[in-house]
Structure 1
Amino acid sequence: MTAPALAPFIGPAVIAIVLTAAATDLHRRRIPNWLTFGAWLLALPVQMAMHGAAGGASAWALGWLAGLGVFLPLYLLRGMAAGDVKLMAAVGAWLGAAMALQIALAAFVLGGVWALVLVVKSRRHAQLVRNIGGILRTGAGGPSVGSMPYGVAIAAGTLAMLFATP
């Protein structure tokens, strides 16, 4: 296939990846490595077919690094699971660095609103305020106020950006 013939398959491929990840994360509370690693590996030859060997490898690597880099600090602070980071890296590998950053921002906004709703609904907002105060004072928070399948927020951010971008 030529580069123009591949372009229409990028969006649907990424949509299938993030929807599978979201469904698995909702059901099992994890995103499987076969999905994220498989997505990384499949994105490389697609990028190379579209942009040439050097350009495709560069676009793939920069997108992968952007997706990884934006979520990795949250993983290191124990605020996010490794599967979420790997999923965002896969999205970046498929869509490129600029789109990965836009999707991450959308996922942060959508995920943040969802998290606040869950905290208020569970009436754990006082613990959340204490945790934020502890983080600001000492760099360490208190007991978690809950967790959520963030693959859903990544999928929502991806869909929002794909459908918002002409």
Structure 2
Amino acid sequence: MFITVYAPPPPVIPCVIALVIAAASTDSQCRRIPNILVATGLTGALFVQCWLRGIPAGAAAWLAGAVVGLGLFLPFYLLRGMAAGDVKLLAMIGAWTGPLLVFYVALATSVIGGVWMLAVTARRGQLTRLFVNVFTLIRPAWRGSSIVARGARADSIESVGSVPYGVAIAAGTVFVLLAAAA
């Protein structure tokens, strides 16, 4: 079964690509995604959605996309596996693209970011530590208990390093938008 994904209307694709490239650039240089960039993107998305669909439908589409985008990466932030700026960036992308496309963006981003992190971790010689960390985080779920209840807290895990995930989010976003437009 295939799901047909329609490209967003014309002003959306170039605006989103410009915003994610700016976010990736600042994240790779400063290891931060500025709140002003996310706020500007959210505001622009609200105006464009309302202009394209009318105020009630546009505001609803904007909110639905932002909430889905926020919800997709929020658990990783809560487990300290992702920074807040990355979560807010995906919410902004969702406000522009809508719930379905932001889901595909999150999926593509996760694959790109996962492969990138595996490569970086392997280069650092810390693959074993990475797999121990992942097992520590998911083991309580297999046993039907929470991470906190079993004592396996995310802050007790030794980090294997990080990457500027805004770059992976930008790559996933550009991939999905160009694929949808093709």
| TM exceeding 0.5 | yes
Match of 2:101 among 78, 99, 117: 99
The TM-score normalised by the length of structure 2 is 0.85
Gaps of 5+ in 1: 1-5
Hey, which bits of structure 1, 4+ residues long, moved more than 4 A? Answer: none
Aligned residues: 161
Question: Counterpart of 2:65?
Answer: 63
The amino acid across from 1:129 in the alignment is F
| 1:94–1:136 CA distance, 2 compared to 1 (3 A) | closer
Q: 1:10-61, CA deviations, whole angstroms, 9 ceiling, x for partnerless residues?
A: 1100000000000000000000000001110111111001001111000000
Post-superposition offset of 1:8: 1.9
Asked if 1:165 corresponds to 2:180, the answer is: yes
Report the aligned-residue RMSD: 1.4
Match of 1:18 among 17, 20, 28: 20
**CA–CA separation in structure 1 for the residues paired with 2:105 and 2:81:** 18
**CA–CA separation in structure 2 for the residues paired with 1:50 and 1:9:** 10
The TM-score normalised by the length of structure 1 is 0.93
The amino acid across from 1:55 in the alignment is A
Post-superposition offset of 1:144: 0.6
**CA–CA separation in structure 1 for the residues paired with 2:99 and 2:122:** 34
Aligned ranges 1:5-44 → 2 under 5 Å = 7-44=9-46
**CA–CA separation in structure 2 for the residues paired with 1:71 and 1:132:** 16
**CA–CA separation in structure 2 for the residues paired with 1:86 and 1:135:** 23
Deviates more, 1:133-142 or 1:153-162: 133-142
Match of 1:148 among 151, 163, 182: 163
Deviates more, 1:130-139 or 1:116-125: 130-139
**CA–CA separation in structure 2 for the residues paired with 1:129 and 1:70:** 22
**CA–CA separation in structure 1 for the residues paired with 2:122 and 2:66:** 35
**CA–CA separation in structure 2 for the residues paired with 1:136 and 1:97:** 27
Gaps of 5+ in 2: 1-7, 141-146
Identity of aligned residues (%): 49
Question: Counterpart of 2:3?
Answer: none
